[in-house]
Structures are given as C-alpha cells and as structure tokens.
Amino acid sequence: MSKATLIRVGIDVAARSLSVACHVNGAWREGEFPNTPEGHKALWRFLRKRASSVRVCMEATGIYHLELAMALAGQDGCEVMVVNPRIAKDFARAANARAKTDRVDARMLALFCERMSFVRWRPPATELLELRAIARRMDDLAQQAAAEKNRLHAAMIRSVARDIEVNIRHLERRIQRLASQAMALIERHDALLRNFTLLTTIKGVAESSAIRILGEVMFLPEDMSGKQWVAHTGLDPRAFESGTSVRKKARISKTGNANLRRALFLPAMTAARFDPAAKRLRDTLVERGLKPIQAIVAIMRRLLLAIRAMLRDGLPFQSERFLQPTTNG
C-alpha cells in the first residue's frame, strides 16, 4: 500500500478509548486505541504509516480530548481541528448518518474534515490551562453553594439547616482559596495581569467574575470576529420560522461556552442596577417589548463585545461607548 501525501482523520474521543477513521487510497482505514499517553503514541504511529501529512478532526469533549489534541498538535506533519459537538451532530444529520456508534462518529468527523473549512487548533499555554481549570472549579463550587442556599431556604428542620450552613461556609472557603491561587498565577504573568486589570474596570466585574471570564476568553483566537465571540458563547439569536405561519420569537442559541455565559450573567445583572448606561439600555429594551431577562442577555452580549475590544486595544471599559441603545438592541 503506497503512502498518501495527506489524509484527513476523524477521531471519536471517549473517556477511555479513541475510535479512528480515515480515507486512504479510496478505502476506509480504522482503528481503536486507549485514551492514554501510550495510546496517543500508538495512534500517531498508525497515522504516520499512512501519510506524510495528517489533518485530524475531533469534537471538544470536556477534558477527554485535550491531552490527545496537545499530543497530536506537537507532532511534525500533523494539524488538529477541534469542533463544537453540536456542529458535528448537525453535519452527521445532514450527511444522513443512519447509526450512532463510535465507528460512525469517527467516519463523520473524517468527512467533516474533508468537506468543511479547516480551522487549525493551537495548543494553549500552560498558565492558561491552569487558570481555566481553577476558574471552572470555582464555578462548579459556586453552583453547589447556590444549590445549598436554595435548600437552606426550604429547610424546616434546624439540625438540617445548621448542616447546610456549615457546608455553605465550607464551599465559600474553598472558592476563596482557589481565587487566591488564581490571583497568584495571574500576578506571575504580565499578559494575564494586564487583562485582569482591564476586566475589573467594568462595573459589576469583581475579582471572582474577572477570574472566570479571563479563564475562558484567553483561549479564543485573536482573529475571531465579534460575531464569532458571540456565537462561541451561545449568545447569538436563533430565529425559528417555517413557511408563512410559524414565526416564533428569536432566542439565544446556547450553542457554545456555557461557562463564559454564566460568568457574564451576574456582571450584566449588576451593571443593569448600578451602571447608568447599562440601566438606560435595559429600560430602553424593555420599553421596546423585550422581557427583563432578554434585556439582561442583550447587556451580556454588549459586555462580551466590550471585553473583546478592551483586550484587543488595551483600553479600560467605557460604558457610554459600549452600552448605547441601537436600533436592533
């Protein structure tokens, strides 16, 4: 079998295994490898035998794809693309995939790599990985604390209420300890400290929110447009129309980074109360017929675009510039 110049590979990533599929000389070549460092090396040997250059497509699957993506991106002759799982699912549906197995998913990702525009994934710096991990853990604990506070509100037995109060204090201490670790990391890196300082010029963005926002936006490529930032965060409006009779109100897609979306929510709520420009924007949008929560989402979108401009230009937040009402909100 002759060695191909370039092959496009789909990898379905699971917690313990990797299903691999690629077209070589008109035929499918497939394999399965453990999702371990040794498995990653065996996978690369499998691919290198078949082509001098390799383009790999995989889904973003939480933590499971990251080590594989970093291992392959570090190999000469290998380029990696990481796609949103929802986009991959829509592609498979459009390609009329009739089954849902690891093998089929790997083939669909290989076809996606062949037919769609290839966007190369760049490995993030170590400090960014560490910051995002800390920020996401803070978010996890904050959600647990919020759930406990809801339980406390409904607790009718005093002994149970005391236990919940103890757990809330414990969670809050852990969050603060992680925040201190994040700040120590940020202060060791000039770029992180610069951007953190810029974020805290936004009314409503304090230390915790700035850590969580920074942990997400620092991963976004510099050449992404504002619309792409909005779509990545799942704050882009999605219309629902069919024929002449179905005209539902547009809603945000929520197809994107839920961690960044959550990190923006409280700052938007706070800005709507205490920032005069944000309050005017919220009131204007409500007068135009939006629900209050829809107005908050619009402020979240504005804050996200403001953050992009601030980090790009190195300038502090200017609410009068970024939060002026427009014709379409």
What digits encode the pLDDT tens for the residues 6-62? 999 999 998 889 999 998 888 899 999 999 999 999 999 999 988 889 999 999 876
Query: Is residue 74 situated within a structural domain?
Result: yes
Query: Is residue 327 situated within a structural domain?
Result: no
Closest to 22 (Cα-Cα) out of 1, 4, 41? 4
Q: Is the pLDDT of residue 241 over 90?
A: no
Q: Is the pLDDT of residue 248 over 80?
A: no
H or E element in which residue 198 lies: helix 190-199
Average pLDDT score over the chain: 89
Are residues 62 and 152 both part of a single domain? no
Are residues 104 and 9 both part of a single domain? yes
Rounded to whole angstroms, the Cα distance separating 206 from 188 reads 19
In the block, residue with structure tokens 């974020």? 199
Are residues 302 and 248 both part of a single domain? yes
Q: What is the pLDDT of residues 125-162, one digit of tens each?
A: 899 999 999 999 999 999 999 999 999 999 999 999 99
Query: Is residue 88 situated within a structural domain?
Result: yes
List CB contacts of 100: < 8 A, sequence separation 6 or more. none
User: What's the pLDDT band for 242 if we cut at 50, 70, 90?
Assistant: very low
Average pLDDT over residues 155-183: 96
Number of compact structural domains in the chain: 3
CA atoms lying within 13 Å on the CB side of residue 271: 34
As to burial, measured by CB atoms within 10 angstroms (0-12 exposed, 13-18 middle, 19+ buried), residue 172 is: middle
Are residues 67 and 146 both part of a single domain? no
pLDDT at 249: 63
Q: Is the pLDDT of residue 280 over 70?
A: yes
Which of the pair, 95 or 305, is modelled with greater confidence?
A: 305
Are residues 135 and 108 both part of a single domain? no
**What residues make up the domain containing 247?**
226-322
Are residues 108 and 135 both part of a single domain? no
User: What's the pLDDT band for 219 if we cut at 50, 70, 90?
Assistant: confident
Confidence (pTM): 0.74
Q: Is the pLDDT of residue 239 over 60?
A: no
List CB contacts of 268: < 8 A, sequence separation 6 or more. 204, 278, 296, 297, 299, 300, 303
Which of the pair, 323 or 40, is modelled with greater confidence?
A: 40
Query: Is residue 259 situated within a structural domain?
Result: yes
Are residues 33 and 134 both part of a single domain? no
User: What's the pLDDT band for 327 if we cut at 50, 70, 90?
Assistant: low
Tell which of 69, 94, 115 closes a domain: 115
Tell which of 115, 144, 163 closes a domain: 115
Residues counted in the chain: 329
Q: What is the pLDDT of residues 75-104, one digit of tens each?
A: 999 999 999 888 888 898 898 877 788 899
Are residues 165 and 102 both part of a single domain? no
